[in-house]
Chains A and B, each alone.
Chain A
Amino acid sequence: MSETSIKEKSETKVKEMSGTKVKKMLFILSKGTIENAYAAFVMANGARMEGIESEIFFTFFGLEAIQKKKLEHLRVATVGNPALHMPTMLGGLPGVEALATKMMKKEMEKLDMPPIGEFLEILSDSGCKLWGCKLAIDMFHLKREDLIDELDGVLTIGDFYGRANEEGTHLLFI
């Protein structure tokens, strides 16, 4: 593809973006790896920055991202992650996961990506609603005080669907 056509293509995208029909983005974060947490956070924050409403529902391992004691210790998975181009045996060795996480955090810092705790503060201040999943919280025997202060509440999945009642709402499972 020639340089001009790439440029034209990206400009068309920009135009479409500004006239988006998306009104509200609802994210379900079910995984406890750092890259998944950041994926949800960047998209939820990006929505708010575009004037789109956003909310995140933390369930199962996604709850790691809102537990006061755990949120700064999320890691990148080095086993079963072919995109790291690392032999599975090597990925399982002690310290490899920590090292890969450290390297990733360093790259993120360069791009001015906030750490998880600060990102949650930013999201909350930006008006992004943060919800805990009742079933998963009960299953992991978590108490309210284990979870971040910014949490807006604990919901059942039914309650969460109830928040998707407007036209232009999208749900995304991560």
Chain B
Amino acid sequence: MKKIIADREIDVNEEGYLIDFNQWDKDVCAYLAEEQGISMTEKHWEVVEYLQDKFQKEEPLSIRGIKKSGVINIKEFYSLFPGGPLKKSTLIAGIPKPKSCI
């Protein structure tokens, strides 16, 4: 599927997740965040960078991992990305939705 994001054609899957991470940049990120009702702050960027770093190292993401990340605690994570924090933050970060049940 193609979607116009920040005046560009971007490949996304049915749920709106980016298929090719190379198409991601800060404009795309801010656009996707706004669609989720989130306006990006310094802390949001830090989390996005952490998630992308994990993705590039092929390390699975989980809420337990967030707790241990040293970047953010779980309470803040839920308040920065309300209504499904890992789902929303990965979408904004341009990486696949985590498949884990925890």
Residues of A within 8 A of B (CB): 14-15, 18, 42, 45-46, 48-51, 111-114, 118, 121-122, 125-127
Contact = CB atoms under 8 A, between A and B. Distances in A.
A126 B63 contact: yes
The 8 closest A-B pairs by CB, nearest first: A51-B83, A125-B74, A51-B84, A125-B75, A114-B64, A50-B84, A112-B62, A126-B74
Given A46-B101, A125-B75, 18 more contacts: A14-B15, A18-B15, A42-B101, A46-B102, A48-B78, A49-B85, A50-B87, A51-B84, A51-B87, A112-B60, A112-B64, A112-B100, A118-B67, A121-B67, A122-B63, A125-B67, A125-B74, A126-B78
Please classify the interface of chain A as helix (H, G, I), strand (E, B), loop, or mixed, using the class held by over half of its residues. Answer: helix
B102 A45 contact: yes
A142 to B, nearest CB: 27
B86 interface: yes
B74 A112 contact: no
Interface in B64-79: 64-65, 67, 73-75, 78
B90 to A, nearest CB: 11
Given A15-B14, A112-B60, A112-B62, A42 B87 contact: no
B92 to A, nearest CB: 15
Contacts, number: 47
Contacts of B67: 118, 121-122, 125
8 contacts: A49-B85, A49-B86, A51-B84, A112-B60, A112-B64, A125-B74, A125-B78, A126-B63
Given A49-B86, A122-B74, A112 B65 contact: yes
A21 to B, nearest CB: 15
A112 B102 contact: yes
A111 B99 CA distance: 12
Given A42-B102, A111-B102, A49 B14 contact: no
Nearest to A113: B102
B54 to A, nearest CB: 13
Given A113-B102, A126-B74, A49 B63 contact: yes
A142 B84 CA distance: 35
B77 to A, nearest CB: 9
Nearest to B66: A122
